[in-house]
């Protein structure tokens, strides 16, 4: 996150924003390095919580379940 002009006087707002971002993505990522300000920039490093293969398998299962529900709903409408 880059602070410009008067934004540099309120770094706590940027810190709160990055903390909220970390909370929002908590199920797919974790904070490797907490928010830290370096000059005009504030950085935070996030890392994935799951391996890619696990995430892909989970997405496929969710997609298959969704398609199954849609097919059942369509069949129920046709009756």
Claim: this prediction has a pTM higher than 0.85: no
pLDDT exceeds 70 at position 79: no
Shared domain for 17 and 5, answered yes or no, is yes
- CATH number, domain of 13, equals 3.30.110.10
Shared domain for 5 and 41, answered yes or no, is yes
Determine which helix (DSSP H) or strand (DSSP E) holds 44, and give its type and residue range: strand 41-48
Nearest C-alpha neighbor of 43 from the set 15, 24, 7: 15
Task: Write out the residue range of the structural domain in which residue 21 sits.
Answer: 1-48
Shared domain for 56 and 43, answered yes or no, is no
Work out how many domains the chain is built from and give that number.
Answer: 2
Shared domain for 78 and 53, answered yes or no, is yes
pLDDT tens-digit map of 25-51 = 988 889 999 999 999 999 999 998 877
Q: What are the tokens at 53?
A: 């293969």
Shared domain for 5 and 28, answered yes or no, is yes
Name the CA dihedral angle for 34, 36, 40, 41, rounded to a multiple of 10 degrees: -30
């Amino acid at each position: 996150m880059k602070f410009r002009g008067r934004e540099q006087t309120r770094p706590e707002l940027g810190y709160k924003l990055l903390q909220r971002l970390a909370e929002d993505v908590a199920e797919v990522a974790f904070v490797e390095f907490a928010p830290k300000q370096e000059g005009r920039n504030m950085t935070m490093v996030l890392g994935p919580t799951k391996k890619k293969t696990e995430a892909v398998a989970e997405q496929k299962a969710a997609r298959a379940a969704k398609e199954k529900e849609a097919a059942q709903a369509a069949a129920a409408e046709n009756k």
